[in-house]
Chains A and B, each alone.
Chain A
Amino acid sequence: MTELKTFKNITCTFCGALCDNIEVKVKDNKIEELKNACAISRKKYEHALKDRTSPMINGEESTYQEVIEKAAEILKNSKNPLIYGLSSTTAEAQKNAVKLAELSGANIDSTSSVCHGPGTMAKQLVGMITATLGEIKNRSDLMVFWGANPVEAHPNHSKRYTMLSEGLFKKNRSDREVIVFDVRKTPTAKMADQFIRVEPGKDFELLMALRLIIQGKKPETEAGKVAGLELAEIEAAAEKLKNARYGSIFYGMGLTMTGAKYMNTWAAMSLIRDLNNDHQRRFVMMPMRGHGNVAGSEITMAWQTGYPFAVNFSKAYPRYNPGEYTAVDLLANKEVDAAFIIASDPAGNLPKKAAAHLKDIPTIILDPHWNFTSDFADVVIPSALKGITASGTVYRMDHVPLHLRSFLEDEWPDDAAAVAQIGELIENA
């Protein structure tokens, strides 16, 4: 391939916003030019072909077939393995991973359990009122960002879906009011009409105060304050929420992983529910999901097992219990005796105690790039690059599916093929 070839409307898989308008020019199996990519995306694309993994067993160079066989052997000999990661791979690989978990009687969990999983647990309590991103672009006159900072984490989000986008009924920034609730004045807060500083760890109290005010009740205060805010300030914010016609709240890990965790999201979901009780007003909410296909990991696991994450197959049928079958707990409690990490870096991201156990047990990693986990993993399986050298399906933060088209060649098979092959070796053993 020596001619410059252009690929349009390519989907960037690096974050949950899954922008599908990337234009790539390719020559000699290299990216020559990128259009519409944000700063994060550009960096990821530029880095994509560097630092690639190769087949390794116990630190020694090996062959692809050998690492696949070794992985199957480890999982087969394990009494209680863990399959973990999944949020940066395709739905096809995720489906195969669930099958592999079933075949090997494993626990299977995604990075969701350490980011937006608590939100899913809150949904199981109260439900969730949501919309696709385009709906919010078209209709939302009030946008609230709560513990979320898309300007830095999802840079094209505001241009494509929210504040700065052109919608059907809402045409530009001036058609929308923007409020940011956060513990610090983030770059997103700087773009807002109003920034409300929440006392760290007090999101739950503030959300409940807003609920009470909207229900026409008066919240209890400490020295006239809730979550570090004067009651009058909270009442003014409640009034803004009430004046919306189609409000939206985007929430981040500032809500799901702090203080009351899933109860924070429960409070936010309950607030949104209350806000829909006025017949002229609609209100929706959306988790700002981080990894490109973390939504897909919950979706694929749910249709195969009935449950979104934290699933255990030791009884040959799926059981669900966050707190027991979640990766952090299984590792920290030293309950698992082998781990298969798919497209993730738990050594870099999980709490120390959990990550430490990975060094004590046989660990397999399937990832196109070196990371902290592959540095010590017993088996390293290389893989093609999602959305660059591998095709497949990904689900956006609002559960809209997109098909990835590959535009470069790779020497390694993709995640889906690797996982399927390991599964076949176990199934036919």
Chain B
Amino acid sequence: MLRLKNAVIYDPTNNKDGVKEDIWIENGKIAAEPKPEVVKELKAADDLEEIDLNGKIVMAGGVDIHSHIAGPKVNSGRVLRPEDHRRDNVARKGKLRSGVGSTVPSSYVTGYRYSLMGYTTVMEAAGPPMKAKHIHEEFGDLPYIDKGFLVLSGNNYFVLKFISENNQQALKDYLAWLINVTGAFGLKVVNPGGVEAWKEGKRMRGIDEKGTHFDLSPKEILLALAKAADDLELPHPIHLHTNDLGSAGNYKTAINTMKLLEDYRLHITHVQFSSYGKNEDSKIKFAMATDEIAAEINRQSKLTVDIGQLVFGEATTMTADGILEYNLHKLSGNKWVNTDVEMETGSGIVPMNYKKKNLVNDIQWATGMELFLKIEDPWKVFLTTDHPNAGPFTAYPWIIKLLMDKNYRKDYISDLNDKFDEYTDLSSLDREYSLSEIAVISRSGPAKALGLKNKGHLGVGADADITIYNNIEDNDIAEVFAHPAYVFKSGKMIVKAGELLDNLEIGKTLVTKPEYDQNIIELIREDFQKYYSISIDNYPVTDHYYDKIEVIPCVTKE
């Protein structure tokens, strides 16, 4: 047994806000404090290890609800950008494999850097089903963290077909089958209908217009998918990248979408990219719409969002939203990758550099910060950079500092474009996040939204994924969050004094296994065999691709 003594615990799930207590760990889980006589026995048998934390901050391991860390798109980004890795080399050390970093790090370095930052669970945000084996292969080389992936389903042939046929039962069975055979955790929906339109050489705007070969509006697709996810009782609702993402004036589409799905569970991802106003009189056209977006989120009870906070500097945008990447390529002139995936999705990659003096980038940056500060309930808003789209995940500690320290925020703003205050409210916002609120947006909230009952908190029975930080009174806040004193994963110490220990381990893959009617396979077989380029029998991810797996049950109703 392991005892962490003299911890100052921030565990919002269990209403502990700076409570001084010990933490007990056994078999990779948080355990109840043993009775004094048991402690005596353990000590006598030399079965109790104790670490005195001397009043250090203790939180559950960080949980990232949306990050691009593995799979075909990420890997294509690595190949595309040798210039991204060149100056960021990580040498082999003991059992720790070497690699490269920067915005699209190699698999090992991705695992190291999340771990060094005290993050222990990460959700890969978008995987094309027919390349799922690739994702699982990479997961096998992604150390320490527990991970899962969200399977792309908003422009899938069978999804659109069943919705256009009004066959909700088949849709539900198909989605459950898809999650099972790809080893996915949940459903990702990207620009529903809009990616199919891009492949057909068409454009769609808003969520009402019908379009594409399937003659469906995004609205119809969204409603059917949200309902199916609720009916399947998936631990995590549909994870939505909205239509019109990235374009000026798109906040209306986002709000229409939020209102449309108000009766269903919904997570909107990197909402910063969906919260732009439009000012026809302004030269840059871009405007803020954070009041409108925050008000709608504050009004709703089930809706959660993550921000996708912009970080100034190098980024690599990558998304299943093919048309969006085309637009970014035209905007930036930068190199552009596009991959259309038959029957399922599109995708694209464009490197970006967000600049402090660029007013549009400033507005994007401020949109994220303002949403953090204007959304009242931290349980509804989570910390992400949509890594590596709006910036690398390694920037989280500095975002935390911006949220916790309004003076730092002010200093930061002074480096931005001179016209910053004309376009944004940020300078007038005084809110500062507390440590407890930081714990919510970086672990407890995302874990709850993902339906991971054993993550994001330190209650008895939880996974012993634990991060121990130095005090913020005596240290720079960003340094505190960038370099935890200790990190424990499944009860084992993996980081000590800001360094990885030499015990390279691969974490668990998190999956769900919703039930479905086996007849669905026969229902799709003919079209599959004709219009895919591989056999349906070779489509499922077989057991060879899983090492350690944890099945999260599909139960959402109490």
Contacts and interface: CB of A to CB of B under 8 A. Distances in A.
Interface of A: 8-9, 11, 20-21, 91, 95, 99, 102, 120, 123-135, 137-139, 160-161, 166-169, 245-246, 273, 276-277, 279-282, 284, 298-300, 302-308, 313, 315-320, 391, 393, 395, 399-403
Contact of A393 (B137, B342, B535, B537): B137
Interface string B80-92: 1110110001111
Contacts of B107: 303-304
A313 B72 contact: no
B532 A134 contact: yes
A276 B134 CA distance: 28
Nearest to A166: B530
Contact of A20 (B97, B134, B203, B535): B535
Contacts of A137: 342, 531, 533
19 contacts: A9-B535, A9-B537, A95-B137, A99-B97, A123-B79, A127-B80, A129-B337, A129-B338, A130-B337, A138-B343, A276-B326, A303-B141, A304-B106, A304-B108, A304-B141, A305-B98, A307-B78, A399-B72, A401-B137
B339 A280 contact: no
Contact of B75 (A124, A161, A169, A302): A302
B396 to A, nearest CB: 22
A395 B341 CA distance: 14
A131 B530 CA distance: 17
A316 B104 CA distance: 20
Given A303-B138, A400-B534, A391 B339 contact: no
Given A9-B537, A284-B338, A307 B343 contact: no
Which of A102, A123, A273, A401 has the largest count of B CB atoms less than 10 A from its CB?
A401
Interface residues of B, number: 65
Given A127-B349, A306-B105, A317 B100 contact: yes
Contacts of A281: 201
Which of B72, B198, B330 has the largest count of A CB atoms less than 10 A from its CB?
B72
B538 A124 contact: no
Contacts of B338: 127-130, 276, 284
B197 to A, nearest CB: 11
List of 7 A-B pairs having minimum Cβ-Cβ separation, nearest first: A134-B342, A134-B533, A306-B100, A127-B335, A131-B340, A401-B133, A135-B342
Contacts of A125: 335
Nearest to B135: A401
A102 B70 contact: no
Interface in B299-339: 326, 329-330, 335-339
B99 A317 contact: yes
A315 B91 contact: yes
Contact of B342 (A21, A132, A282, A302): A132
B97 A273 contact: no
A42 B526 CA distance: 27
B387 to A, nearest CB: 16
Contact of A306 (B78, B337, B538): B78
A99 to B, nearest CB: 7
Contacts of A120: 79
Given A400-B131, A403-B538, A273 B336 contact: yes
B213 interface: yes
A298 B534 CA distance: 21
Contacts of B341: 131-132, 135
Given A169-B213, A303-B141, 9 more contacts: A20-B535, A127-B80, A133-B342, A135-B342, A137-B533, A138-B531, A282-B198, A317-B89, A320-B85
A123 B79 CA distance: 8
B123 interface: no
B255 interface: no
A396 to B, nearest CB: 8
A343 to B, nearest CB: 19
B35 interface: no
Contacts of A306: 78, 82, 84-85, 99-100, 104-106
A303 B533 contact: no
